[in-house]
Structure 1
């Protein structure tokens, strides 16, 4: 077969769909979860509320459902109110998407550094993470028994997030929206004996998304109406 343009692109090395995240309008998460439980016989795998996932401006609630074998995982989110009347990333998605839908698709890799370098070379854009996140991460790792095999400087350069517990760690990064509307985006994730979803990174991720919302003029309700700028 003669070489093509695609043969000249760097290989990414994505293996399978790790999980798929759905966003629901306010107070619609529980009915959606019940549908998965009653119709597909899924069960609850993990959950968090707005006391755990929040920033100065916004918050969310999330329940992860999975099949009996726990091979299919579906986090389901809904927005939580803010005392500063900011637009949660979940609410922004619902406004621009026109209702509930798939917020992001997570793709698994065994070599996230190579994968992200290849995706950036192909033109993919990812969220930026401040250097203060990595300063804090290095401090937390210095008093932990967990050792990260990957070079921390390369992870920081590529804006890859790290979450860990006593059993293992995961590496993850999130793309910018795949189109001009702030709806679907991608996650690339590498797991090292860790089956979580990056709860330790939610605040950093939220703050990065809120920065993008600010650039779009969508962070506060007075700037947004029915998914459109005033």
Structure 2
């Protein structure tokens, strides 16, 4: 099958029977979509895009769609007692329900994946309004997370049929976020390889990199991770599982409070991490603490960089290098009441890796937060 956009393939061993153009949107089920939307506008600079609720004929749910760069978030809350959205929130707290993938043929995408063993979540259906039509289908993945396939080549509305444009006067400035770099899933003991195989066999992805408990460990905790990617590299899904350590790892803590597997963090890219993180901090976003001593030797490890090290130190930005360049990254504290989902801010200066050299500093920072919560 040919993809209309002809995005070049950069990983040759990917089967690529499932062309994906990028992340279409990420939908979170939340307890109060109106207030969550205000948070992502005020703190993160997302811009109002579209709305669905009672005023548009939706009787069971309300959704706010927000966008910054190529990142679209959808925040959905139930309008009635009972039902699957309430059940999801009661079990997991606020969290990611749908990772929607932009494809040229949603029917083919559903057929190709279900024929290879995926469990259907949504058979292909056509959504229409005065702006055209969208074909949508879906499959189940780890935990209760879903992948939707979105075909929108014949649609010219703000977001999706069923939504209307949402254009309030309140529009805080953007902070420089550009696109989704990767989305990380946490799964239970011994489940990582199962889901690695799922993405390889069912979706045609390949393994980009693997980290074991020797790579990702501290004195107290450890985990293992494998990163799966599609052919054009626009979709990257690291999959984490716990590993044996002296104390409870962040993955175990996540699974305990989320009550199962789910999306741990969303990595969003910027081309100016100093500006982006400075703006986020001004607006009240909390980041993990990186001790100043990290910066005493970091340039010995990563070599010359373009940025002012003192500015990075003041913000707590981590630095790592691979064979292709370097990257800058910083992680928020959980953005929800439960210690579950958080965000990563990343700027790539050629590097295609995930900050292996920062794992120890990062995990020690997370352990400090776990100790404060009494969950280490």
Residues in 2 aligned to 1:156 and 1:70: alpha-carbon distance in whole angstroms? 30
Asked if 1:157 is matched to 2:320, the reply is no
Which of the two has higher C-alpha Rg? 2
Candidates 192, 201, 204, aligned match of 1:38: 201
Structure 2 counterpart of 1:6: 171
Asked if 1:121 is matched to 2:282, the reply is yes
Greater share of helix residues, 1 or 2?
Answer: 1
Structure 2 counterpart of 1:226: none
1:39-58 correspondence to structure 2 within 5 Å: 39-58=202-221
Greater share of strand residues, 1 or 2?
Answer: 2
- CA shift, 1:6, in A, is 2.8
Candidates 40, 44, 65, aligned match of 2:228: 65
Structure 2 counterpart of 1:76: 239
SS in 1 for 2:263: strand
Residues 141-166 of structure 1: CA deviation (Å, up to 9, x unaligned)? 5xxxx421111001000000000134
- CA shift, 1:136, in A, is 2.0
SS in 2 for 1:163: strand
SS in 2 for 1:12: coil
Structure 1 counterpart of 2:341: 184
Structure 2 counterpart of 1:140: 301
- CA shift, 1:168, in A, is 1.1
SS in 2 for 1:118: helix
Residues in 2 aligned to 1:105 and 1:193: alpha-carbon distance in whole angstroms? 20
- CA shift, 1:140, in A, is 3.0
Structure 2 counterpart of 1:21: 184
1:80-229 correspondence to structure 2 within 5 Å: 80-82=243-245, 84=246, 86-141=247-302, 146-219=303-376
Residues 28-74 of structure 1: CA deviation (Å, up to 9, x unaligned)? 10111111111111111110100111000010110100112222110
Residues in 1 aligned to 2:207 and 2:324: alpha-carbon distance in whole angstroms? 21
Structure 2: gaps of 5 or more residues: 1-166
| CA RMSD across the alignment | 1.5
- CA shift, 1:167, in A, is 3.1
Structure 1 pair 166–43 and aligned structure 2 pair: CA distance change class (3 A)? closer
Residues 72-122 of structure 1: CA deviation (Å, up to 9, x unaligned)? 11000000001x2x0011111011101000000000000000000111111
Residues in 1 aligned to 2:350 and 2:301: alpha-carbon distance in whole angstroms? 19
Residues in 2 aligned to 1:90 and 1:81: alpha-carbon distance in whole angstroms? 11
Q: Are 2:329 and 2:345, in contact at CA under 8 Å, matched by a contact in 1?
A: yes
Residues in 1 aligned to 2:170 and 2:234: alpha-carbon distance in whole angstroms? 35
- CA shift, 1:132, in A, is 1.3
Residues in 1 aligned to 2:231 and 2:309: alpha-carbon distance in whole angstroms? 36
Output the TM-score relative to the length of structure 1: 0.88
Residues in 2 aligned to 1:40 and 1:159: alpha-carbon distance in whole angstroms? 37
Q: 1 or 2 for the larger relative contact order (CA 8 Å, sep ≥6)? A: 1
Aligned length: 210
